[in-house]
Amino acid sequence: MTMREWRLPAALILLGLIPMLAGAGRLTELGTGPQVTPENARFVADPLPVVLHIVGAVVYTILGAFQFVPRLRRQRWHRRAGRVLVPCGLTVAFSGMWMAVGYDLPAHDNDVLAGVRLVFGSVMAGAILLGLAAVLRRDIDRHRRWMVRAYAIGLGAGTQAFTHAPYLIAVGEQPDGNLRAGLVVAGWLINLAVAEWYLRRPARAVTAPALTLS
């Protein structure tokens, strides 16, 4: 892989690094019998959805980033990786919705944010299923488009770290209520806007084949 081919997957993995490190910390905490606090009580009481979410998200983020590499897309690896990515992506989406309805709301969240998570989780799952249906019909372009959108939503937590950062720096604490919901939504919308820009670029500006996850 040339340095130019490496840039995009590296950038995508770096974008997901903050939530991946946070997830690794959460898994380590759950695996060591933590003291129960208001912040972690819901995870300690029912760890399955958060464990599924973290593991699925790490695999989806890293493996999905390499689907943007032209050389790998021309090999069987691409299709084999896609067979892992589809169930991982669905696991991320459905476990996220599971947590939104199954866990008590933490102090900084509200019902608006819980509803938003259900909406974007549903959209991500729907995009993956539409992409899968498209590739089974041999409609590669439509498949590519839906899978890029699903991956953009899956990377939302990485961008949300940056949408929250100015408030954290200025105020010194987490935003809450509708402000937090707005910042979370902003992260997803930024990613989807970038995904649409990527998909709509003129053909002459595309330097690598677009992402597919089949």
With beta carbons less than 8 A apart as the criterion, state whether 146 and 130 touch. yes
- If we measure between CA atoms, which residue out of 157, 189, 190, 155 comes closest to residue 12? 155
The pLDDT value given to residue 1: 53
3-state DSSP call for residue 210? Answer: coil
- If we measure between CA atoms, which residue out of 185, 183, 159 comes closest to residue 171? 183
With beta carbons less than 8 A apart as the criterion, state whether 111 and 105 touch. yes
CA distance 199 to 137: 20
Burial class (CB in 10 A: 0-12, 13-18, 19+), 29: middle
The pLDDT value given to residue 191: 97
Q: What is the pLDDT along the chain (214 residues), one digit of tens a residue?
A: 566 778 889 999 999 999 999 999 999 999 998 889 888 899 999 999 999 999 999 999 999 999 988 777 767 888 899 999 999 999 999 999 999 999 998 888 999 999 999 999 999 999 999 999 999 999 989 999 999 999 999 999 999 999 999 999 999 888 989 999 999 999 999 999 999 999 998 754 333 333 334 3
pTM of the predicted protein model? 0.89
Q: How many CB atoms lie within 10 A of CB 45?
A: 10
CA distance 109 to 7: 35
The pLDDT value given to residue 210: 38
Burial class (CB in 10 A: 0-12, 13-18, 19+), 155: buried
Q: Tell me the CB-side half-sphere exposure of residue 9, using CA atoms within 13 A.
A: 23
Question: Which residue in the block uniquely carries the two structure tokens 């998200």?
Answer: 57
CA distance 185 to 127: 18
Q: What's the token pair of residue 106?
A: 């933490």
CA distance 47 to 39: 13
